[in-house]
Chain A
Amino acid sequence: MSTTNLHLFVMVVPLLSALAINLFGRSNRFLIAPLVLGSLTFSVFGSILVTGRVLRDGPISYTVGNWQPPFGIELVVDPLSAMMMVLIAVVALLASFSSLQSVAKELPGREAFFFTLYMILIAGLFGLVLTGDAFNLYVLLEITSITTYGLVAMGPGRAARASFNYIIMGSIGACFYLLGVGYIYILTGTLNMADIARILPTLNAPGATATSIAFVLIGLWIKMAFFPLHGWLPTAYGYAPTGAGTMVAPLMTKVTVYLMIRVILSVYTPALVFANGWLANGVLWAAAIAIVSGSSLALGQKDLRHMLTFIIVAEVGYMVGGVFLANANGLTGAVLHIVNDALMTLCLFLVVAAIVYRQGSVSLSSMQGIFRRMPWTMAAFVLGALAMIGVPPTCGFFSKWYLILGGIDGGHWEFVIALVISSLINVVLFFRVIEIGYFGALEDGGHHGPVQYQEAPGWMLNPLMLTAVLLVVVGLSTGPLVNNLIRLIVPAGF
């Protein structure tokens, strides 16, 4: 293995391990954990090495099967995709510790199937951030979606129906994207992203370009659950097996937001997308409404996991709005929020997984007095909650800082106000949970009695604690992260 193709191996190793799990894991389930953890650990180190290389030497390109672009499929690693690779690898690794435990408990005997899909999904996510080809993107998008449909459907009860709903919505999204790509192909005769970006601005076909942009963006918005196209997400993520939620919830929407940024920056070029002020204005209003209504809908939930799914919908509004502010601070905030939100969501879903593992439910009524039973888990929950609210020095504050600053720079007060309101609603949301967990001991009146610790096993708890610490560490290293990485992503002229 030469280091030049290392990024390819980062993607291929999880894929191969998926095959291995399917072949050998069925007969011997003790092989599954080493295969999952081993390949993901490889991906983590590989992606970090690749990022180092990209930052040192500039973008790396790899042509699959040695067919030269624009004819062959190109895999490109630039700073943005390198960052996403590291993020996906780290989040997937941290989540898989917990997933292994919850799947063993919730889906006994079906671990091999579950982790086959799980690893294909991760490989697909790596593919999505690596590919430099617009059609290949569609295929990978469907690979990740199909595996997610399968993972969601493995859940109990309503999960199958949620999954079918997701299939219908997801397919509409994918078809819209494909239609938009068709327009691009008719216009430019190429599917290579760099090639499209070179040809498209010279064509002067505003109508067709705008139609194509509209189809692609709507397709991606459905896939990322941008309000009001979010209907599928809360049920799909809410009823999926816990082990799937811990990985899918932090990564899927964030990678789709990445795709939107990629499409805007490297396919259509910002000049074309933001040529019409009304598009950006309209999307910003939509984002503002998404943020406020996502948070408000979360208020009505009586189950922690369902509450979090609506918060994801609100967070998607943060990132879409940040991108469509079309200024440096806004884009920085959006990219930074991809990282931060992935970690925050991971932290909170790991908490959910730990609690579900112990008591089978995360309905708010079952969480009374949980601070005394699971103090460490709840400490991590508090940190995750603070990050979601945006309290410094957790990472959530800093991306919110850039997003609000971008809103002020662009004079988009509706977005600024929506962000502030959503932070306030988050305070209510999370402190309601904290209050229930903290005061629950009232009823049994036993708060003088000895404490009964019921923490989740170390395999779940330690990654959770690590994630919680990461929230603060990433927050404090915002400066270097923005200066050395995200600044390279923001195009000139922003």
Chain B
Amino acid sequence: MEAAVNEIVAKYNYWIYVVLMMIGFYAMIGKRNLVKKLLGMNIFQTAIILFFVSTGVKKGGNIPIVDKYQALAGGVDAATIVNPLPHVLMLTAIVVGVSVTGVALAVLLRIYKEFGTLEEDEILEKLQR
């Protein structure tokens, strides 16, 4: 029991992302309102983005902005700065996420124009009629 608690506490950030991810996943699969599904998708993506950013963190690491002349002269001690690559990757992922959200919202607008609602049950009802 104690070992499990220690495990959770030691990697608390990852456990938070797992919980976030599950919330998002539940909303995408379980919710019947299309906007809530979309919000779930955003939460899901955010969890993964946070997860990636976390991987770059180092204890006592500084921001990865290095003085050029200093670096050229003395080199860089990689242990003193956080890994910038995951952040850069996540910038791209955020852009992707925003685009998907944008397209999804546009599609939701079309669905609303078509059916007059964004509740899946009501849409299904209208389709059957």
Contacts and interface: CB of A to CB of B under 8 A. Distances in A.
Interface in A124-143: 135, 138-139, 142
Contact of A182 (B51, B92, B114): B51
Q: Which of A150, A161, A179 has the most CB of B within 10 A?
A: A161
Contacts of A168: 28, 37-38, 41
Nearest to B92: A139
Q: Is the interface of A mostly helix, strand, loop or mixed?
A: helix
Interface stretch (A170-178, A440-448, A453-461, A468-476): A170-178
B16 interface: no
A104 interface: no
Contacts of B110: 153, 160
A22 B92 CA distance: 24
Interface in B22-77: 25, 28, 34, 37-38, 41, 44-45, 48, 51-52, 55
A160 B44 contact: no
Interface residues of B, number: 30
A65 interface: no
B45 A171 contact: yes
B86 A142 contact: no
A146 B104 CA distance: 9
B89 A135 contact: yes
B48 A167 contact: no
A164 B92 contact: no
A157 interface: yes
Contacts of B48: 175, 178-179, 182
B96 A175 contact: no
Interface residues of A, number: 27
Interface in A365-400: none
A262 B64 CA distance: 34
Contacts of A142: 96, 99-100
Nearest to B86: A185
Interface of A: 135, 138-139, 142, 145-146, 149-150, 153, 157-158, 160-161, 163-164, 167-168, 171-172, 174-175, 178-179, 182, 185-186, 191
A160 B99 CA distance: 17
B28 A161 contact: no
Contact of A146 (B28, B55, B103): B103
A88 B14 CA distance: 40
Given A167-B100, A172-B44, A175-B44, A157 B107 contact: no
Contact of B106 (A153, A178, A182): A153
A30 to B, nearest CB: 28
Contacts of A174: 96
